[in-house]
Amino acid sequence: MVLPAIGIVTGFAVVVLSFWSPLLAISSLRELFRWPTRWLVVNYLLVGTGLLAGQCLSYLVVILLSAGTGTVTGSDAVRIVGGVLVANLLLPGISALAALRILPARGYWTPEGHRLNGQIALGIGVLWYAVITSLGFVFIGLALMFANLPT
């Protein structure tokens, strides 16, 4: 049971990181990934994997708070989806605010970009991340639901 779950989470992470990566074309967002190493791809994978690990843990918390460990009813499913949508905005939003506060103070990032302000670009990135993770969660949930229907 553990290996399929790890495969689902890994697939989710790969899809989210792949669909968010085109935003790296925005120079002010690309500059966010100058830390902790010198390589953009390594930093993107490290930061993205860390954020997605936190995101998956938030999903687990939402599910446990909404439905516990028992059978999920229709009202539980509504609470889970609502909680996940909130978590998909809250976690990256808090991470973005932390980046706005910490990274410029340490000299790793300046939000004033050449063409697009870094704060606006970061807001676009948070919203796009929320859309990708929400669609991914719903898709995985539907796939698991249909896969577990009685035959």
User: Is 146 part of a structural domain of the chain?
Assistant: no
User: Is 52 part of a structural domain of the chain?
Assistant: yes
Rounded to whole angstroms, the Cα distance separating 51 from 47 reads 6
Rounded to whole angstroms, the Cα distance separating 102 from 86 reads 24
User: Is 150 part of a structural domain of the chain?
Assistant: no
User: Is 23 part of a structural domain of the chain?
Assistant: yes
User: Is 145 part of a structural domain of the chain?
Assistant: no
Question: Which tops the pLDDT comparison, 2 or 80?
Answer: 80
pLDDT tens figures, 106-140: 887 777 755 668 888 899 999 999 999 999 988 98
**Average pLDDT for residues 42-65, to the nearest whole number?**
92
Model's pTM, two decimal places?
Answer: 0.85
Q: Give the whole-number percent of the chain exceeding pLDDT 90.
A: 46
Can you give the residue range of the structural domain that contains 6? 2-140
User: Is 151 part of a structural domain of the chain?
Assistant: no
Least confident range from 54-58, 82-86, 108-112: namely 108-112
Rounded to whole angstroms, the Cα distance separating 24 from 52 reads 17
- Whether 87 and 129 have beta carbons less than 8 Å apart is answered as no
pLDDT tens figures, 90-101: 999 999 999 888
Please check the confidence at residue 75 and state whether its pLDDT lies above 90. Answer: no
Report the number of distinct structural domains present in the chain: 1
Count the residues in the chain. 151
